[in-house]
Structure 1
Amino acid sequence: MNTIAFFEIQSTNPKREVEFYKSIFGWEATLDTSAPIELYRLETDGLQGAILKRPVDTPPTYQGTNAFTCSIQVDDYDQKEKIIIKNGGQVAMPKFAVPGKCWQGYFLDADHNVFGIFEMDKNAK
C-alpha cells in the first residue's frame, strides 16, 4: 500500500511514443482493445504503466511541468542520452550531479512529456 504502482504517458500519437520508449528502454507495449481510449499497456522490468491517447490539448512548451514526473534508473547515463537524442528526444535539463548519489537529467519525448534518467554514482559531484 501507498507505493507507486502504475504510471501513464499521455500522447497525441501513442504509437509514436510506444516506439520511442521501446527504442530507449526496451519496454514492450500491447494495445488494450478493452480500454475506452487508445491505450497501450507497457511491460517494464518493474512498474506497470501505459501510453494512452491524450484526452486534451498538449500543454505549451517551455512551461513548468504540471504532472508527476518519473525518472528511470539506467546503467550508463551518457550512452542512454545518446539513444534518447537519436530517437528524437530533446534535453529538457542537462545532466547534473546529485552529490554523493547519482547523475540526473531530464528529457522531452515528441509530445513534450518530461521524463528523467539517472545513473547511481556515489562519487557524483
Structure 2
Amino acid sequence: MNSIVYFEIQANDPQKSIEFYTNVFGWNFIKQDGLPIEYYRIETSGIEGGMFKRPAETPPLNCGTNAFTCTMEVENFDAMADKIIQNGGQIAMPKFAIPGRCWQGYFLDSDHNVFGIFQIDHSAK
C-alpha cells in the first residue's frame, strides 16, 4: 500500500509522444479501446503507465510543473541525454551530482512534459 504503482503522461499529440518514448526508452504502447478518451497503456521494464490526450492547455515553459515528475534510472546518463536530444527532447535542468549517490537531470519530452533520468554513481561529486 501507498507505493507508486502506475503513472500517466498527458500529451497534446499522443502519436508524437509515443514515438518519442518508444525511441528513447523502448516502451511499448497499447491503445485501449472502449474508453471515453484516447488512451494508451504503457509497458515498461518497471511499473506500467498510461498516456492520454491532454484535457487542458499545456502549461507555458519556465513555469514549473503541476504534477508528480517521474524519473527513470539509466545505465549511462550522457548517452541517454544524447538520445533524448536526438529524438526532439530538450534539457530542462542540466546534469548535476547528488554527492555520493547519482547523476541527475531533467528534460522536456516532445510535448513539453518534464521527466528526469538518473545514473547511480557513488563517486558523483
CA-to-aligned-CA distance 1:43-100 (integer Å, 9 cap, x gap): 1011110111001111111102111001000000000000000000000000000000
CA-to-aligned-CA distance 1:99-120 (integer Å, 9 cap, x gap): 0000000000121100000000
Q: What corresponds to 1:70 in structure 2?
A: 70
User: Could you state the TM-score of these two structures normalised by the residue count of structure 1?
Assistant: 0.98
Equivalent AA in structure 2 for residue 62 of structure 1: N
Q: What corresponds to 2:18 in structure 1?
A: 18
Superposed structure 1 runs of 4+ greater than 2 Å apart: none
Structure 2: gaps (5+ residues): none
User: Could you state the TM-score of these two structures normalised by the residue count of structure 2?
Assistant: 0.98
Q: What corresponds to 2:99 in structure 1?
A: 99
Q: What corresponds to 2:90 in structure 1?
A: 90
How many residue pairs match? The answer is: 125
Identity of aligned residues (%): 57
Q: CA deviation at 1:34?
A: 2.1
The 5-angstrom pairing of residues 45-60 of structure 1 reads 45-60=45-60
**CA distance in structure 1 between the partners assigned to 2:20 and 2:35 by the alignment:** 22
**CA distance in structure 1 between the partners assigned to 2:35 and 2:72 by the alignment:** 26
Structure 1: gaps (5+ residues): none
